[in-house]
Amino acid sequence: MAEKTKSDKCPSLLHGKYELGRMLGHGTFAKVYHARNLQTGKSVAMKVVCKEKVIKVGMMDQIKREIAVMKMVKHPNIVELHEVMASKSKIYLAMELVRGGELFSKLAKGRLKEDSARLYFQQLVSVVDFCHSRGVYHRDLKPENLLLYGDCSLKVTDFGLSAFSEHLKQDGLLHTTCGTPAYVAPEVIGKKGYDGAKADIWSCGVILYVLLAGFLPFQDDNLVSMYKKIYRGDFKCPPWFSPEARRLITKLLDPNPNTRITISKVMDSTWFKKSIPKTIKTKEELEFEAFSGEKSSKPETLNAFHIISLSEGLDLSPLFEEKEELRFATTKPASSVISRLEEVAKSMKFSFKKSESSVRLQGQECGRKGKLAIAADIFALTPSFLVVEIKKDHGDTLEYNEFCSKELRPALKDIVWTSPA
């Protein structure tokens, strides 16, 4: 949640764990406080929802939906939900505290340069693509729901109006009209059913236009007149838009959802992929670069349960289920295991670092949750019997599972030990 300047203070102790401080902001049904976790000392944004008010207006499902979505979509550019608590009269959401304010406040000072706009847009599209891959549609994307932190980094928030794929009707479409008028797609206004993914893409187009122009593409004092402009896709790009940006926005703001550009084609467009000088490295990239190749400090021991699980060796099928950690035994030397993993890294153009008992692989391309990073640690149960533990260090679990299934399984199959029985 964004931190706003409010002097209202309401110090109290919540569940013996959080110390509530000043109010950061408030709405009709909820107030947001600065809070400190007494166990860790870390600051959070505590959203306090009044049960009576939300039940009275029938918004309890919306609150439940927001909680469910935030638990499901874990992404570096999505505000993190740490914990949910409740009392008889209140619901408490301990959320990540984002101190940079809303992107809307930054736009109030004027339009952004194209490189800055692209950087924000790339992060937004990454989040939208990730949510859509999980069957989640935001449906209320706008600069007020995009929070800033660090240097040009973005956090998407407010999933209260989002929808799941299971909310689709028999025609495969959503039918609830929602969102902010200036950012809502024409098919949503039409009330004939709409594709949540395509509606989100339209909103992304409006946001990109606002980032580059400093004003909305569809404006009118009369709401009906504004809706007519949205229906027709009646907008003009200012002369300072580059030809590439103009082409992309025209495809994003196509009033026909059937011909509107898809998220994959947005990410593949020349304007979107244009490189920007990278001044800040991610935490994961810094950790990968810091891996010196020295022997792992992790003790080379496994508990009895780990050893028992290997009593029949390993047929890689259960190993490559939707898990973020896998383990196999081998009678091959550590150097053979490392060489095999290095071959996989080279074939996939992954960065590779190694020591006598550890290996780190990191992809060069950013996936839905950043660059995929994989760690492998080798443990010697006896001089001739090793256990290899592989886990996802960073990135998207689905992408990791696919990598394991298509690359690691074939590469490791012939060195995995199986019981003679």
Scanning the structure block, which residue is given the tokens 């304010």? Answer: 101
Q: For a pLDDT cut of 70, what percent of the chain falls above it?
A: 80
Q: Does residue 146 have a pLDDT over 50?
A: yes
In sequence order, the 6+-apart residues with CB closer than 8 A to the CB of 30 are 47, 48, 49, 50
Confidence of residue 153 (pLDDT cuts 50, 70, 90): confident
The dihedral built from the CA positions of residue 73, 75, 78 and 82, taken in this order, carries a sign that is: positive
- Alpha-carbon distance 193 to 257, whole Å? 11
Q: DSSP assignment of 11-79, as one string?
A: EEEETTTEEEEEEEEE-SSEEEEEEEETTT--EEEEEEEEHHHHHHTT-HHHHHHHHHHHHH---TTB-
Residues of the chain with CATH 1.10.510.10: 103-273
Level-2 CATH architecture, domain 283-415: 2-Layer Sandwich (3.30)
Confidence of residue 176 (pLDDT cuts 50, 70, 90): low
State both tokens at 226.
């504004």
Superfamily the domain 9-96 falls into: Phosphorylase Kinase; domain 1 (3.30.200.20)
Specify whether 393 is catalytic. Answer: no
Confidence of residue 277 (pLDDT cuts 50, 70, 90): very low
Confidence of residue 179 (pLDDT cuts 50, 70, 90): low
Residues of the chain with CATH 3.30.310.80: 283-415
Q: Does residue 106 have a pLDDT over 90?
A: no
Whether 235 contacts 217, CB under 8 Å: yes
The predicted model gives 229-239 an average pLDDT of 92
The predicted model gives 273-291 an average pLDDT of 57
Q: What is the mean pLDDT of the chain?
A: 80
How many CB atoms are located within 10 Å of the residue 323 CB? 15
Per the model's pLDDT, the better-predicted residue between 183 and 369 turns out to be 183
The pTM (predicted TM-score) of the whole model is 0.65
Q: Is 113 annotated as a binding residue?
A: no
The predicted model gives 197-205 an average pLDDT of 93
Q: Does residue 309 have a pLDDT over 60?
A: no
The dihedral built from the CA positions of residue 10, 78, 261 and 135, taken in this order, carries a sign that is: negative
Whether 46 contacts 33, CB under 8 Å: yes
Q: What is the pLDDT of residue 319?
A: 41
How many CB atoms are located within 10 Å of the residue 111 CB? 16
- Look at strands 43-50 and 90-96 and give their pairing: antiparallel
Q: What is the pLDDT of residue 292?
A: 58
Confidence of residue 294 (pLDDT cuts 50, 70, 90): low
Could you say which of 8, 115, 129, 140 is catalytic? 140
Give the three-state DSSP class for 421. Answer: coil
How many CB atoms are located within 10 Å of the residue 224 CB? 7
Scanning the structure block, which residue is given the tokens 């009709």? Answer: 28
Whether 289 contacts 151, CB under 8 Å: no
Confidence of residue 275 (pLDDT cuts 50, 70, 90): low
Per the model's pLDDT, the better-predicted residue between 1 and 416 turns out to be 416
Residues of the chain with CATH 3.30.200.20: 9-96
Level-2 CATH architecture, domain 103-273: Orthogonal Bundle (1.10)
Q: Per-residue pLDDT tens for 23-66?
A: 888 777 788 899 999 988 999 999 888 888 888 877 787 788 77
- Which stretches within 233-357 are classed as H helix? 243-252, 263-267, 270-273, 283-290, 304-309, 334-347
Task: Output Rg (C-alpha) for the chain, integer angstroms.
Answer: 25
Q: Does residue 313 have a pLDDT over 80?
A: no
Q: Does residue 79 have a pLDDT over 70?
A: yes
- Which stretches within 164-302 are classed as H helix? 186-189, 196-213, 223-232, 243-252, 263-267, 270-273, 283-290
